[in-house]
C-alpha cells in the first residue's frame, strides 16, 4: 500500500495541473485522480476489514476532502466516513435510499458548470 500511495503522490506532485487523464466516468485532472486513488484505498480497506469483522475508520478530514472533490452533492450534515460509504453504495444513510449505482465526478472543478 505504501508503494502504491507513493506512486500516487509522485504523479500528483509532478503532473501539470492542466494534464487530463482518461477515466470511464470522464477525464480527470491530477487532483481528481488523487481523490479517486484515496477513495479506492479507503473503501477497499473497509471492504477487507469489514469482511474480517474488524472496525476501521479513516480520518474524518480525509473523507470530507474526497467527498468535496468527487461527490459534491453528498450530504454534509453527518459523519463523513458514513457518507463516503453511502456515496459508494456500501452503506445505508439514515433518511436516504441506499445507492444501487453511483459515480464520482473527477472532472476538473474549473471545467464543471456552476462550480468554482
Q: What is the pLDDT of residue 111?
A: 61
Q: What is the pLDDT of residue 116?
A: 34
Is the separation of the CB atoms in 82 and 91 below 8 Å? yes
Residues 6+ apart with CB under 8 A from 46: 56, 85, 90
Query: For all residues of the chain together, what is the average pLDDT?
Result: 90
Write the burial class of residue 74 (CB in 10 Å: 0-12 exposed, 13-18 middle, 19+ buried): buried
Q: What is the pLDDT of residue 114?
A: 40
pTM: 0.86
Spatial separation of the C-alpha atoms in residues 66 and 63, rounded to whole Å: 5
pLDDT in tens, 49-98: 999 999 999 999 999 999 999 999 999 989 999 999 999 999 999 999 99
Amino acid at each position: 500500500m505504501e508503494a502504491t500511495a507513493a506512486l500516487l503522490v509522485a504523479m500528483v506532485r509532478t503532473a501539470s495541473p492542466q494534464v487530463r487523464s482518461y477515466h470511464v466516468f470522464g477525464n480527470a485532472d491530477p487532483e481528481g485522480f488523487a481523490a479517486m486513488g484515496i477513495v479506492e484505498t479507503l473503501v477497499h480497506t473497509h471492504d477487507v476489514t469489514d469482511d474480517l469483522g474488524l472496525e476501521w475508520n479513516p480520518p474524518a478530514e480525509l473523507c470530507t476532502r474526497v467527498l468535496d472533490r468527487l461527490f459534491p452533492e453528498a450530504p454534509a450534515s453527518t459523519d463523513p466516513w458514513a457518507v463516503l460509504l453511502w456515496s459508494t453504495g456500501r452503506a445505508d444513510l439514515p433518511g436516504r435510499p441506499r445507492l444501487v449505482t453511483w459515480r464520482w465526478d473527477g472532472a476538473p472543478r474549473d471545467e464543471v458548470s456552476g462550480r468554482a
